[in-house]
């Protein structure tokens, strides 16, 4: 990777360079305020629709080291990435599931997550893994679905109740309103209160689905 510190591009004001990075790497990424305001739809799933997509140019990061250092956060911190249904944050993707992100520096920068889970099959992760993967995220959207009503649905959702410190949490799909609101409130509780809330119980059921 070239240094290119003498390039005329770097004579531009930092604010203008940042605007260029946004247009090339995250032109439709939402601000935190927009994420917090949107409470009725699945933002991550909506952004996967063809009409919502815009071309991205991640190859920009390999232009030179200075551009890489200035622009990498725009690519990884502002987009919502899709967690793996079994491996969680270990192999996320942005658009195509076949194109997993395995670049360690990129993985560590992702702050906005979406995960799609099935409630009618046994999950391949446990509560501790889920808590470790998503606690402290800026945004977490859980989209739950099932082919048919299943008694194990509550057990699957309970794997997410240990998550703490999420700034904006959204639960969508085949989950009744009571469970959705309770789980969102769990995930947005401060990290330092985790030990105090481990024994917290709840009375919501998952009988009202769809």
Q: Output the CA angle 196-198-201, nearest 5 degrees.
A: 110
Distance in Å from the first CA to the final CA of the chain: 51
Radius of gyration (C-alpha) of the chain in whole angstroms? 19
Cα separation, 35 vs 168, whole angstroms? 7
Domain spans of the chain, in order of start: 12-197
Cα separation, 202 vs 154, whole angstroms? 12
Closest CA to 76 of 97, 56, 96: 56
Closest CA to 94 of 55, 62, 136, 41: 55
What tens-digit pLDDT sequence spans the chain (210 residues)? Answer: 555 667 889 999 999 999 999 999 999 889 898 888 876 555 655 555 555 567 899 999 999 999 999 999 999 999 999 999 999 999 899 877 657 777 788 899 999 999 999 998 889 999 999 999 999 999 999 999 998 776 678 899 999 999 999 999 999 998 989 999 999 999 999 987 544 444 444 444 333 332
* Other beta carbons less than 10 A from residue 120's beta carbon: 15
Closest CA to 116 of 170, 55, 168: 170
Cα separation, 91 vs 99, whole angstroms? 9
Write the DSSP symbol of residue 2: B
What are φ and ψ of residue 14, in 5° steps? -55, -35
Cα separation, 50 vs 42, whole angstroms? 15
Strand partners, 82: 93, 114
Q: According to the model, what pLDDT value does residue 196 have? A: 46
Written as six digits, the tokens of 157 are 């959702």
Q: Please, where are the H alpha helices in the chain?
A: 14-25, 32-37, 43-46, 65-77, 104-107, 127-134, 153-158, 177-187, 194-197
């Amino acid at each position: 990777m070239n240094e290119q510190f003498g390039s005329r591009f770097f004579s531009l004001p930092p604010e203008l360079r940042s605007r260029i990075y946004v247009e090339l790497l995250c032109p439709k990424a939402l601000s935190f305020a927009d994420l917090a305001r949107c409470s009725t739809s699945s933002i991550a799933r909506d952004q996967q629709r063809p009409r919502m997509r815009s071309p991205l140019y991640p190859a920009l990061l390999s232009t030179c080291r200075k551009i890489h250092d200035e622009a990498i956060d725009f690519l990884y911190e502002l987009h919502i990435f899709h967690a793996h249904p079994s491996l969680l944050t270990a192999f996320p993707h942005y658009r195509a599931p076949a194109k997993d992100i395995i670049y360690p520096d990129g993985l560590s920068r992702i702050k906005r997550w979406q995960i799609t889970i099935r409630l009618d099959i046994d999950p391949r992760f446990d509560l501790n893994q889920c808590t470790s993967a998503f606690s402290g995220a800026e945004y977490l959207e859980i989209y739950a679905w099932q082919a048919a009503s299943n008694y194990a649905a509550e057990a699957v959702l309970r794997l997410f109740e240990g998550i703490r410190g999420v700034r904006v949490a959204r639960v969508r799909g085949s989950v009744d309103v009571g469970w959705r609101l309770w789980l969102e409130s769990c995930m947005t509780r401060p990290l330092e209160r985790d030990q105090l809330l481990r024994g917290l119980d709840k009375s919501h059921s998952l009988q009202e689905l769809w």
